A and B are shown apart, each in its own frame.
Chain A
Amino acid sequence: MIRGSGNAKLPDPNRIVHRGLLMDEPILLMQGITKVYPNGFMANSNVNLSCRKGEIHALLGENGAGKTTLMKMLFGFEEPTEGTIQIKGKDVKFKGALDAIRHGVGMVHQHFMLVDMLTVAENVVLGDEPVKAGLFDKAGAIKKTRDLADKYHFNIDPTAIVKEVTVATKQKIEILKALLRGAEILVLDEPTAVLTPQETRELFVQLNVLREAGHTIIFISHKLNEVKELCDSFTVLRKGRVIGNGLVRDYTPQMLSNMMVGRDVLLEIDKDMAVPRETVASVKNLVYFDLSGLPILDGVSFSVQKGMILGIAGVEGNGQNELSEILTGLRKFNVGEIEINGKNVKGMTVRMLRDNGVASISEDRMSYGCAPMATIAENLMSDRFYKTQYSRKVSLKRKDIEKMAEQYIKEFNIACTGPRSKVGELSGGNIQKVIVAREFTSGASFIVANQPTRGIDVGATEFIRRKLIELTRTGEVGALLISADLNEVMEVSDSLLVMHKGKVCAYFENAKDVTEDELGEYMLGLKSMTPEEVGSALK
Chain B
Amino acid sequence: MKMKMNRLFVKNFELFRTLVVILIGFAISLILIYFISDEPVKAITTYMFKPFDGIRRIGSMIEYMIPIMFAGLGMCMMLSVSQFNLIGDGALFLSAAAVSYFATVLIPNCPPILFPIVMIVAGALIGGGCGAIPAYLQSRFKTNIVVVTLMMNYVLILGGVYMLLYWMRDPSKTYVGSLPIPDAAKLATIIPKTHVSLGIILAIVATVAVNWFLNQTKAGYQMRMIGQNPQFAKYSGINVVKYVIIAQVIGGALAGIGGAVDILGKYDRFIWLTSNGYGFDGMMIAVIAKGNPKHIPLAALFLAYIKIGADLVGTTTDVPLDFVLVVQSVIVMLVAAVSFMSGVRQKAVVKIASAEKAGV
Contact = CB atoms under 8 A, between A and B. Distances in A.
A38 B225 contact: no
A350 interface: yes
Given A371-B228, A386-B218, A38 B349 contact: yes
A371 B357 contact: no
B169 interface: no
A330 B234 contact: yes
Contacts of B236: 350, 382-383
Nearest to A328: B235
A510 interface: no
Given A36-B349, A38-B346, A39-B349, A349 B239 contact: yes
21 contacts: A36-B353, A40-B10, A40-B349, A42-B354, A330-B235, A360-B235, A371-B225, A371-B228, A371-B232, A372-B228, A372-B229, A373-B228, A374-B228, A381-B221, A382-B225, A382-B236, A383-B236, A383-B237, A394-B218, A396-B216, A396-B221
Given A38-B342, A45-B357, A382 B232 contact: yes
A368 B232 contact: yes
Given A36-B353, A38-B345, A378 B221 contact: yes
Contact of A354 (B212, B224, B237): B237
Q: How large is the interface on B (under 10, 10 to 19, 20 to 34, 35 or more residues)?
A: 20 to 34
Given A38-B345, A39-B349, A81-B350, A395 B228 contact: no
Contacts of B225: 371, 374, 378, 382
Nearest to A381: B221
Interface string B206-239: 0000001000111101101100110111111111
B352 interface: yes
B235 A368 contact: yes
Contacts of B222: 385
Interface in A419-456: none
A353 B236 CA distance: 10
A385 B221 contact: yes
Contact of B231 (A351, A368, A381): A368
Contacts of B235: 328, 330, 350, 360, 362, 368-369
Nearest to B351: A36
Nearest to B346: A38
B180 to A, nearest CB: 41
Q: How large is the interface on A (under 10, 10 to 19, 20 to 34, 35 or more residues)?
A: 35 or more
Contacts of A136: none
Nearest to B225: A371
Interface string B35-59: 0000000000000000000000000
Most chain A Cβ neighbours within 10 Å, of B229, B346, B354: B229
A92 B357 CA distance: 27
A370 interface: yes
Contacts of B218: 385-386, 391, 394-396
A328 B229 CA distance: 18
A530 interface: no
Interface in A352-387: 353-354, 360, 362, 367-374, 378, 381-383, 385-386
A148 B110 CA distance: 89
A112 interface: no
A66 to B, nearest CB: 13
B78 to A, nearest CB: 17
Interface in B319-360: 342, 345-346, 349-350, 352-354, 357
Contacts of B237: 349-351, 353-354, 382-383
Contacts of A349: 237, 239
B339 to A, nearest CB: 9
Contacts of A271: none
A374 B226 CA distance: 11
Contacts of B346: 36, 38
Contacts of B349: 36, 38-40
B229 A41 contact: no
Nearest to A424: B228
A85 B236 CA distance: 46
A100 B200 CA distance: 61
- In the A-B complex, the 6 residue pairs with the smallest Cβ-Cβ separation, listed nearest first, are A351-B237, A382-B236, A371-B228, A350-B237, A371-B229, A40-B349
Given A378-B225, A395-B218, A41 B239 contact: no
A527 interface: no
Contacts of A373: 228
A398 interface: yes
A370 B236 CA distance: 9
A382 B243 CA distance: 14
Given A368-B231, A382-B238, A42 B217 contact: no
A463 B318 CA distance: 72
Contact of A370 (B232, B234, B357): B232
Given A330-B234, A360-B235, A382-B238, 10 more contacts: A39-B349, A350-B236, A351-B239, A354-B237, A368-B232, A383-B236, A394-B219, A395-B212, A396-B217, A396-B221
Contacts of A374: 224-225, 228
Contacts of B352: 40
B165 to A, nearest CB: 43
B81 to A, nearest CB: 13
